[in-house]
Amino acid sequence: MMTNEVLENIKARRSVRAYTDQPLPEEALVAILEAATYAPSGMHLETWHFTAVANADKLVALNERIKGAFAKSGDKHLQERGHNKAYNCYYHAPALVIVSNETTQWWAGLDCACAIENMFLAACSLGIGSCWINQLGTTCDDPEVRAFLTSIGVPENHKVYGCVALGYADPKVPMREKKIKAGTVTVVR
């Protein structure tokens, strides 16, 4: 099997769901955000926006609003999360990048996913853990959540397509083994 640093980095990336308190160095966050902006986008429209939050109080405030939206939902499982004091959707990571895009742009979600994977891989190459955080996808239009997003710079005409938690993986929490499903690849020659 051929390999190189890029391929090894792709295979090394895993979703990290437990972080240390160590803050993210500014230059690492800048490099990860730059990697996001280098992702491909349909027709090179680049209508996306990346709102990086590296402030613990603001992240707690955002989590509280997401929980508020869950508490109001008709889904019992989400209601339980909304009322659970310990629930933290970003796993207490020191930074979260909110990835948003125009709702009317056909490639919006696809473009955001490309940028998100670029951030995951850039983070991994720098020894930084990451995880896709999806909870704003369903809650970003809740009035309280939306007001908060607007206050931190998420464009008002944008939907949140995903978020990237970033931080140093807690070494005390072992990584689950990655199992690759067989039969998902076909090669025709």
Provide, rounded to whole angstroms, the least separation between the CB of residue 181 and ligand FMN: 11
Q: Does 87 bind ligand FMN (CB under 6 A)?
A: no
Q: Does 131 bind ligand FMN (CB under 6 A)?
A: yes
CA distance 145 to 1: 47
Q: Does 17 bind ligand FMN (CB under 6 A)?
A: yes
Maximum C-alpha span of the chain: 55
Provide, rounded to whole angstroms, the least separation between the CB of residue 49 and ligand FMN: 18
**59-78: contacts with ligand FMN (CB under 6 A):** none
**Can you count the helices (H) and strands (E) in the chain?**
7, 4
CA distance 99 to 50: 5
Q: Does 133 bind ligand FMN (CB under 6 A)?
A: yes
Q: Does 134 bind ligand FMN (CB under 6 A)?
A: yes
Full strand arrangement of the beta sheet holding 95-102? 49-53, 95-102, 158-167, 129-133
Length of the chain: 189
Place of tokens 């464009």: 155
Number of residues that bind ligand FMN (CB under 6 A): 9
The residue from 14, 49, 58, 81 that contacts ligand FMN (CB under 6 A) is 14
Binding site for ligand FMN (CB under 6 A): 14-15, 17, 131-135, 178
